[in-house]
Structures are given as structure tokens and as C-alpha cells.
Amino acid sequence: MDEHLEVVLGRVRALPAFDQPLMEAVGLVLCEDVVSGLSLPGFDNSAMDGYAVQAGDLAGASQDNPISLPVVGEIAAGRVEPIVVTPGTCVRIMTGAPMPRGADSVVPVEWTDGGTANVRISQQPPLGASVRRAGEDVQAGEKVLDRDTVLGPRQIAVLAAVGRARVSARPRPRVVVVSTGAELREPGSRLGEGQIYDSNSYTLAAAAREAGAVVYRVGIVDDDPKRIMDTLSDQLVRADLVITTGGVSKGAYDVVKEVLTKLGTVDFPEVSMQPGKPQGFGVLGEDEVPIFTLPGNPVSAYVSFEVFVRPALRKLMGQMPYQRQAVQGVSLDGFKSPAGKRQFVRAAASSSDEGWMASTVGGHGSHLLGGLSRSNALIVVPEDVTTVRAGDQVELLLLDEETG
Ligand SMILES: Nc1nc2c(c(=O)[nH]1)N[C@H]1C(S)=C(S)[C@@H](COP(=O)(O)OP(=O)(O)OC[C@H]3O[C@@H](n4cnc5c(N)ncnc54)[C@H](O)[C@@H]3O)O[C@H]1N2
Ligand code: MOO
């Protein structure tokens, strides 16, 4: 398993940085140090709705001894008024409005009678009170974000505040998902005898989107070698990565393996893991687009995505670490595991003061999707362990946790 992951990660390169509008960059990795072109705040402004004053004029002001000042003007946010606060006067001011010349402090409206011609003020503000100073948050020329930061709402906030409309970020990988199999039908259509709904292309499309990719779910191609090759060739123009499912084991119609083996650029190793033994990985076309040919069994396809494809997607996006977070926990159930294979057992895990606990859900069969839908973790059983007893310490891959 580790060898196969090494082959995969050795082959996949981070996508080149791309100039992105801010909202497209949410969730992406920043590829530049961002230096602010302006100071924040950009100018001295009021932190309160109230009156811009000279604090010295209000010495001794109190509830019993309010001081009355003439109001010589009004400034709203976004307005620049050529008003000067001279000694013994004040200006009505709103939160965010630029401080008028001459004023050194702001009295909140709650300390006053709210007058418009004259105002009675019943408390003296400390000098500089409720004034937000230019540059106290960010100085022009200061670095506000480091390259390699993952852009979330808090980072987008500062980018917008310093006036950036676009940033250089690693783009979302474009992932093409194809499922193969003559027995497959689209959900919503009518099933004939021996037919099943294509769940894999949906599972993998959902998982790739959750991992941050832009997904093109091509859907079903039957087991015709030419149609499979034509579909893959057609899709390459819009793919940074291709995922197929089905047709990679030993059956008479396992044509994915058959046609891609001929190309010589895709290998089909048997990986010592369960589920997910038959794997295929390589590159397609002039641009050497990475392709994963995952096994058709639905749980095998999903587990293979988690342990091989998701790390590759994260590498394309430049997001470390590549692998899911693993934690230690207690297995509440006992079960057998095959010798020589790393087994991934579907489990429902929860954490409490005593740490992580996990119960197995559903059976071990690679076709059992009911149990998979109730799981949120995989118990990882090492190759040399053949029995897990209830109460044993195990490693858990947490499937819903942000990698971190
Ligand atoms: N003689 C052997 N038979 C099998 C072996 C083996 O080593 N020797 N390996 C088994 C293992 S392990 C797996 S995993 C599967 C892998 O099979 P393929 O990748 O060739 O996939 P298919 O044969 O096309 O399908 C397997 C199974 O999965 C169902 N399937 C396929 N695609 C979908 C889909 N899109 N949505 C839902 N279900 C899907 C398909 O109907 C089959 O039941 O091979 C074992 N056999
Ligand atoms: O790998 Mo198969 O994936 O054991 O069902």
C-alpha cells in the first residue's frame, strides 16, 4: 500500500498557480505573499455614533454638571466635510466617518441628550477615545498573508479589505469520473433484469468535489474497448485527473485493464489491501494526465479514493498534509483480518473524555453500501494483525474530519 501511494504521489505535481477572482479562491492555496498597498484603517475615523470633540473642552462634565457645546456640522461615513472643530465646538459624527480636523476624541451619543444644534454632554471622554487610528491594524507595505495559506473566510476578509480583487492561487483540479460496466444504469431510470444503478460515479464525484475538485461526471460507458478509449481521449482536454471504476480484475469483460495495458503508461498492481486489491494508476495522453482505474466494487472504489486519489488531489492543490487524519481509538468489536493485507473496516467512531471509540458497521463485503453510509471512519488493521479483539487499540481514519 505504501509503495503504491509513493508511486502515485511521486507522479502527481502541484498544479501551476493561477490568477483567481477572490470568490473563486475560497478553499485554495495562496501562491503569493500578499503585501497591503494601503493602511487599515485608511484614515482616522470614529468608532462610535456621537460627537467629535476636543476632550479638553469637557473637563468636569458629569450627569449633574453637563457641558453644552454648539454642533457646527455633521459627518456620515463615506463623506468628507471641510469642517473644523475649534475649541468649544463639536461635530455630529457617525461610526466610520473621517475625523474632522481639530477634534481629538469622540463622545458616544449615549453620553449626551442627542442635540442637533447644541448638545449637552454629561461625561468627559479620555483623550483619543473612540478614534480608530490610520494604520493601527495594517500598515501600507506590510505583509498580510503568507504564501501557502489556505484561503478561508478570514483570509478573504483581509484580501478584500486591502482592495485585492484577484489573487494567485493553486486552482481546483478538474476531475473526470467515468464508470464502466454493461450492467450499469443511471439512477432514476428503469432497471432491467441483472442491471444495477451506477453508484460509483456519484460516490467518486461527490468525494472529489468534497476534496476541492471541479468534477465532470461523465457517467456510464459499457464494456466496449473502443468506446472506453474514445471517451477517455475526448475527456482528456478538460482533465487534470481521470478516475474510472470497474473492469480491472480478472473477468472476461475487464476491458479497462485490457485497453490501458496496451498503452503502456498505466500499471495494474495488486495492492496488499482489502478492500481495493486491484488498482490501476498511470498517465494518459501528451499532457500525461494522471489516471486512477479503481475497482468496481463500490466499497473498494470509495476506500481506494480515500487512500490514493484524495492524497493525489491534495497534492495537485498544494494542500498539506496529503493524507486523512489518523487517530488512536478503541475498537468496541472484535473481528478477523486477512494476513498480509492492510484491512480497512467501516466503523462508526465517536470521541469522548475517554478518547475515540469505534463500532464496526455492516459486514466486510465490498458490495455492502448500507453499512458504509452509516460509517464515519475506517479502522486500519495492519498487514501482520489477523485478529482484533473488542477493547483493542486501533488506528482510525476519520472520514469527515478536515485533514490537519
Ligand atoms: N477471479 C477473480 N475475481 C475477482 C477478483 C480476483 O482477484 N479474481 N477480485 C475481486 C475484487 S477484490 C474486486 S474489488 C473486483 C474488482 O472488479 P472490477 O474492477 O473488474 O469491477 P467489475 O468486475 O466491473 O465490477 C465489480 C462489481 O462492482 C459492481 N460495480 C461496478 N461498477 C459499478 C458502479 N459504477 N456502481 C455500482 N456498482 C458497480 C459490479 O456490478 C460488480 O458487482 O473484482 C473481484 N473479482
Ligand atoms: O478489493 Mo476487492 O476490493 O477486495 O473487493
* Structure confidence by residue, pLDDT tens digits, 38-67: 999 999 999 999 999 999 999 999 999 999
- Residue 403 falls inside a structural domain: no
Pick from 294, 317, 340: which residue ends a domain? 317
- Residue 404 falls inside a structural domain: no
Residue 78 belongs to domain with CATH number: 2.170.190.11
Q: What is the mean pLDDT of residues 111-118?
A: 97
Q: What is the mean pLDDT of residues 100-111?
A: 98
Going from the Cα of 362 to the center of ligand 2, the distance in angstroms, rounded, reads 16
Examine the pLDDT at 335 and tell me if it is beyond 60: yes
Q: Are residues 187 and 296 in the same domain?
A: yes
Going from the Cα of 247 to the center of ligand 1, the distance in angstroms, rounded, reads 7
- Residue 13 falls inside a structural domain: no
pLDDT of residue 249: 87
Check if 342 has its Cβ closer than 6 Å to any atom of ligand 2.
no
Query: What's the pLDDT tens digit per position in 149-178?
Result: 999 999 999 999 999 999 999 999 999 999
Q: What is the mean pLDDT of residues 187-205?
A: 97
pLDDT of residue 402: 64
Q: Are residues 187 and 251 in the same domain?
A: yes
Going from the Cα of 223 to the center of ligand 2, the distance in angstroms, rounded, reads 20
Q: Are residues 276 and 391 in the same domain?
A: no
Calpha distance 274→375 (Å, rounded): 17
Q: What is the mean pLDDT of residues 207-223?
A: 96
Calpha distance 95→84 (Å, rounded): 18
Give exposure, 61-94, as e/b (b: 16+ Cβ within 10 Å): beeeebbebebbbebeeeeeeebebeeebbbbbb
pLDDT of residue 252: 81
Nearest atom (ligand 2) to Cα of 303: 3
Ligand nearest to the CA of 292: 1
Domain count, the chain: 4
Ligand nearest to the CA of 257: 1
Check if 277 has its Cβ closer than 6 Å to any atom of ligand 1.
yes
- Residue 107 falls inside a structural domain: yes
- Residue 85 falls inside a structural domain: yes
Pick from 317, 351, 370: which residue ends a domain? 317
Q: Are residues 178 and 311 in the same domain?
A: yes
Q: What is the mean pLDDT of residues 306-317?
A: 98
Q: Are residues 164 and 284 in the same domain?
A: no
State the residue range of the domain holding 380.
326-398
Q: If you average pLDDT over every residue of the chain, what do you get?
A: 96
Pick from 317, 340, 357: which residue ends a domain? 317
Q: Which three cell numbers stand for residue 389?
A: 479483539
pLDDT of residue 404: 41
pLDDT of residue 41: 98
Q: Pseudo-torsion of CA 27, 30, 33, 34, nearest 10°?
A: -50
4, containing H or E segment: helix 2-11
Check if 247 has its Cβ closer than 6 Å to any atom of ligand 1.
yes
- Residue 246 falls inside a structural domain: yes
Examine the pLDDT at 219 and tell me if it is beyond 90: no
Q: Are residues 188 and 288 in the same domain?
A: yes
Cβ-count burial of 391 within 10 angstroms (0-12 exposed, 13-18 middle, 19+ buried)? exposed
Going from the Cα of 297 to the center of ligand 2, the distance in angstroms, rounded, reads 7
Q: Are residues 228 and 181 in the same domain?
A: yes
Check if 276 has its Cβ closer than 6 Å to any atom of ligand 2.
yes
Check if 246 has its Cβ closer than 6 Å to any atom of ligand 1.
yes
Residue 278 belongs to domain with CATH number: 3.40.980.10
- Residue 114 falls inside a structural domain: yes
Q: What is the mean pLDDT of residues 121-131?
A: 97
Q: Are residues 257 and 353 in the same domain?
A: no
Examine the pLDDT at 375 and tell me if it is beyond 70: yes
Calpha distance 401→326 (Å, rounded): 10
Spatial contact of 255 and 223, defined as CB atoms under 8 Å apart: yes
Question: Which of 248, 249, 300, 302 is the pocket-test mutation for ligand 2 (most atoms within 8 Å of CB)?
Answer: 300
- Residue 208 falls inside a structural domain: yes
Q: Which three cell numbers stand for residue 128?
A: 483619543
pTM of the model: 0.91
Residue 32 belongs to domain with CATH number: 3.90.105.10
Q: Are residues 227 and 143 in the same domain?
A: no
Q: Are residues 197 and 309 in the same domain?
A: yes
Residue 351 belongs to domain with CATH number: 2.40.340.10
Calpha distance 290→189 (Å, rounded): 32
Q: Are residues 222 and 362 in the same domain?
A: no
Q: Are residues 238 and 117 in the same domain?
A: no
Calpha distance 27→206 (Å, rounded): 16
Check if 280 has its Cβ closer than 6 Å to any atom of ligand 1.
no
Query: What's the pLDDT tens digit per position in 234-278?
Result: 999 999 999 999 999 887 878 999 999 989 999 999 999 999 999
